[in-house]
Chains A and B, each alone.
Chain A
């Protein structure tokens, strides 16, 4: 199935301006830190200055005597409530407040509740913690050394820093193909530790009502329903007494999926004081202690025959999981969806081994728009293909074109067992190369190179590309769960008597524009104006259960749920219309109409002029009409959508850079992005998502990095040290689209939120290395990294520059 953007045309679909922007552009968004409840107190977290140290004692006497301090919570306080440790998403536990040891710099040690945030902060300085510093494990490659300090001595019988081994694919079939390959290329690649760094940091206002026993938590939560279950489990409060409200969220990117100690301490603070407690972390706290992303040390091998046909891939990975194994991903996938590493290519056999290790760093690992480590998988294969092109003297575009899966292969089962739903990869790559003017840039590159060789002066031009395949929209729930919660989403739709509607969703926007896109889905199904559909999200008391927004799953899962619920309502309307028009329901024909306030209409087949609109039906459905047996009246439906498979959006990116060989500076001159996410409900919102992801990709490829020194000190704890790209680093994005609908999604849509973050880093890196003629160097390609790569002495990014 292939198509063009015209395939997206349909009632309700199109570049509708975002409904939520009316309040955002006026500064009237309402975020957690805007919430002020009567009598609200303020929390602050005392954090460890050490990466690894034993806690001898914590003395809070002076802090407690501060006149404005209402409570001081330590690990001992929590231990008395059975809350010093909490379960993680990955079969481990993590400290809420440290009791025995601190295991990374910035780890939570104590929590002060005071009458204002100044006093709370002042009181932190009054807490006296006696630490016994221990040698830290900073270099992941030394974590399994025999003499490495054991980080997790809290776990019984633990004698090393090993977390897990996991493998996928067929090692024997892979080895056989490698044995007969004409060519094998190998490469070591680090996808360094980066951070989602949403502009709004994480925060909460916890409000425990001692009389009703009800806990209300206003929180930056990408997954409110999953959080409610976690609070119930950890704090022991019955789930029906907990209400999670996520107000407007200023960016998440995976950072706001997990449970953080500050959230739980605010709850305990509210229980102890009887007052609401607000805690909002500062920038340094966010960068130091909340979910990081990546930190994959990969060794890849790629085997090809003499004609450049790729035969097999073999990969081994060392995954740095930090001090607690808290990766936020489906629980049966310890390396996330890294298993899709065969990418967009027709590869007969593949095998991969991943070993996870503990280090004295913050936990996390799956965050930052990575589609559960598809980011790492795409980077690996797209870099390896370029290395193969480099080693065999082939053009990277031709090499890719010769190995891409062709449309006739779909649905395609990959060598590691993933069933790709639909795709037309050659068309995407062709479109990207044509848009870029590939031959012309290659000629320009050659001229620049010749001039450099004559004069020694740059710039040097480089062209990089990637053809990525994403895997998004988890479940199905049989295979995918978070803490035992199957990854299926509920949706509830109600059409009011006057013909407007409210859609209640389980997922939660962090800026993706759900209020608009989901209203468009209902508009598409029922013919109502987009403005006539109100979208409710983020409040567990007012929305059905579901797993939340991350992994690009909102449109694939909740979007499908919304569509299914709307179709159920449409069928109810058909029954009511049949009574109104006194015909058999099967004789009615649906017409979505022009999106007017009347909504769509049912007309009698073969009888022109006899029809009834959804608005009329809605009133009748709530009125005194006698309805037949089995038709309950009103127009409302609920559904739970369990996706049959992931959706597999894809794309082809071409990046053109100029590199100053004298300084190592990189200028991203052009970036062509061809994305195929199936049917686009709101192409403007899709393009906005792509713009953001491309900027992310430029950031990771060129500047973003969380690094640590030998003592485990975090070297990237502010926006002066953790660099996010600005408009100055971003070229005018050149976007194009192809449309290959998903065969199993009710609307033919696929997820797109992370496509550009997944697909763009290898394109940028490939371009820079192409410019300087270097086989491989690791991200981030800052001027220093580029210059050292040119000198043949590349910098290892994951440890401090010496």
Chain B
């Protein structure tokens, strides 16, 4: 049986309490929320934290709300929001179908009932679906430490595998996704089996201007070696172009060219590179179709 090494455990009563505990115990303390990455790693003794700070009681970290106006506001997703809550949230799905696309293919219902959005992005697994989603969405992370809140764009949040902008005595509080009228979004993933980590995945968020020209676009890539989970070159190529199949194909080719996958049992490099292109095309196609439907409906 897999059993973890000795650790201490504290149930935090407030975000400030979390920060105090993290400051006191230093880098050997870890926050536990859903625990679906941390606890298996502890059981395998790949992680041996000295203190677990349980944040599950902190309701201030939960909830999905729209803050501000439809044009200038944002969707606020508390860090303690469970995957299942995000999947069930009609306001999230209405503004950003990409969130529901992704949540539907993350793990399984048991994991989604417990795992949290904040835990997923802070784990910073190179194959994490939500990493590519939030970079495509240009979300902003709100991080709290002893000195109060600071914000970090999700495109600057990831510092490499399992490394993020969150410092040892800080906690991710929420993610803010800027609202964009008329945008369409989609997420496409290839896995070997339902619930598996992605072989590769792509997310796209597209705003269309007059004449079907791409006003703004975000493309997130997962599991293909992009440290920031973003296909910047493909975004640059698309901006200002008419959103048609030729443009998607060109963007896919650029995304494939610039990604840096590594071979593992999920697939060889050439296949993953191919998928980066193919899935970029498919995500763009779906996102643009949704954007068009949104415009005609509006």
Chain A contacts to B: CB under 8 angstroms: 33, 117-118, 121-122, 280-284, 662-665, 702-703, 705, 707, 715-716, 720-721, 723, 725-726, 728-729, 782-784, 787-788, 795, 800-802
Contacts and interface: CB of A to CB of B under 8 A. Distances in A.
B134 interface: no
A723 B268 contact: no
A783 B194 contact: no
A121 B190 CA distance: 37
Contact of B199 (A280, A729, A783): A783
A723 B196 contact: yes
Interface string B184-196: 0000001111111
Contacts of A787: 267, 271, 274
A726 B195 contact: yes
Interface string B256-282: 000000011111101100110011001
A788 B278 CA distance: 15
Given A662-B278, A663-B278, A721 B265 contact: yes
11 contacts: A33-B1, A118-B3, A662-B278, A664-B271, A715-B265, A720-B197, A723-B193, A726-B193, A728-B195, A784-B267, A795-B268
A98 to B, nearest CB: 22
Contacts of A703: 192-193
Contact of A800 (B108, B193, B199, B265): B265
Nearest to A283: B2
A525 B248 CA distance: 71
Contacts of A716: 265
B194 A801 contact: no
Given A118-B5, A702-B192, 13 more contacts: A117-B3, A118-B6, A281-B1, A282-B2, A284-B44, A664-B271, A703-B193, A705-B265, A783-B192, A783-B271, A788-B270, A788-B271, A801-B264
Interface of B: 1-3, 5-6, 44-45, 108, 190-197, 199, 263-268, 270-271, 274-275, 278-279, 282
A720 B5 CA distance: 22
A799 to B, nearest CB: 11
A781 to B, nearest CB: 10
B3 A788 contact: no
Contact of B265 (A280, A663, A707): A707
A282 B108 CA distance: 22
B44 A122 contact: no
A723 B196 CA distance: 8
B2 A725 contact: no
A45 B273 CA distance: 41
Among B3, B199, B265, max chain A CB count under 10 A is at B265
Contacts of A117: 1, 3
Contacts of B2: 282-284
Contact of A784 (B1, B45, B266): B266
Q: Is the interface of A mostly helix, strand, loop or mixed?
A: loop
Contacts of B192: 702-703, 723, 782-783
Nearest to A665: B190
A731 to B, nearest CB: 13
Contacts of B190: 663-665, 783
Contacts of A664: 190, 271
A664 B193 CA distance: 12
B148 to A, nearest CB: 38
B110 to A, nearest CB: 11
Contact of A801 (B265, B274, B279): B265
A723 B192 CA distance: 8
Nearest to A705: B265
Nearest to A787: B271
Contacts of A721: 265
Nearest to A726: B194
A802 B270 CA distance: 10
A335 B184 CA distance: 59
A802 B271 CA distance: 11
A287 to B, nearest CB: 12
A795 B263 CA distance: 12
Contacts of B6: 118, 122
Among A702, A723, A802, max chain B CB count under 10 A is at A723
A801 B193 contact: no
A280 B194 contact: no
B101 to A, nearest CB: 16
Contacts of A800: 265
A783 B267 contact: yes
A802 B263 contact: yes
Contacts of B1: 33, 117, 280-282
Contacts of A795: 268
Contacts of A284: 2, 44
A703 to B, nearest CB: 5
A434 to B, nearest CB: 31
Nearest to A721: B265
Contacts of B267: 782-784, 787, 801
A163 to B, nearest CB: 28
A118 B3 CA distance: 6
A801 B263 contact: yes
A729 B193 contact: yes
A192 to B, nearest CB: 12
A728 B194 contact: yes
Given A121-B3, A663-B278, A802-B263, A784 B193 contact: no
A784 B268 contact: yes
Nearest to B281: A662
A43 to B, nearest CB: 11
Nearest to A201: B1
Contacts of B274: 787
Contacts of B265: 705, 707, 715-716, 721, 800-801
Contacts of B275: 663
Contacts of B3: 117-118, 121
Nearest to B282: A662
A780 B61 CA distance: 43
- Listed from nearest, the 4 A-B pairs whose CB atoms lie closest are A784-B267, A728-B194, A282-B2, A784-B271
Contacts of B271: 664, 783-784, 787-788
A636 B274 CA distance: 70
